[in-house]
Amino acid sequence: MTHQARASGSHGSLAVASLVFLAAGVVTAAAAEKKATDIVALEVGDIIAITDCFVLATAGNARHVRTVVEEVEAQLGILGEVKPLRVEGLDDATWVLMDYGHVVVHVFQPE
């Protein structure tokens, strides 16, 4: 699920959309499993060219943020060695961004 893997044509687009929804469902379930709150998946592909879906989740503290991030990575890894293109914000874990190409995950502490 990298940016380079974006398919063209209606059949390719349908396959990508299916993978995006599958990945977003796995992310939301993983976050819920680790007791994240305010979990929302937003389809943004029509307004943001760099990704198709944002998944947002809130965790209570830095340790909780890291726990949610680890579970998301583990569950998406089960889908077939899916790894993030980059992860930002793990140092202080107030807001972690996980970029999987078609899906970008934001896990953050409440302000």
Question: Could you report the per-residue pLDDT of 77-88, keeping only the tens digit for each?
Answer: 988 768 999 999
Identify which has the larger pLDDT, 6 or 99: 99
Biggest distance spanned by C-alpha atoms of the chain:
43
Give mean pLDDT, residues 83-110.
96
Q: Record the pTM.
A: 0.84
CA distance 35 to 91: 21
- Tell me: the pLDDT tens digits for 19-62? 888 999 999 999 999 999 999 999 998 899 899 999 999 999 99
Residue 13 — very low, low, confident or very high, per pLDDT cuts 50/70/90?
low
Structure tokens at 97: 């961004």
- Residue 7 pLDDT more than 60? no
Helices (H), 1-111: 9-33, 62-78
Distance (Å, whole) CA 57 – CA 34: 11
- Pair of tokens at residue 92: 């202080």
Q: Number of helices and strands (H, E) in the chain? A: 2, 5
Q: For residue 105, which phi and psi values (nearest 5 degrees)?
A: -105, 130
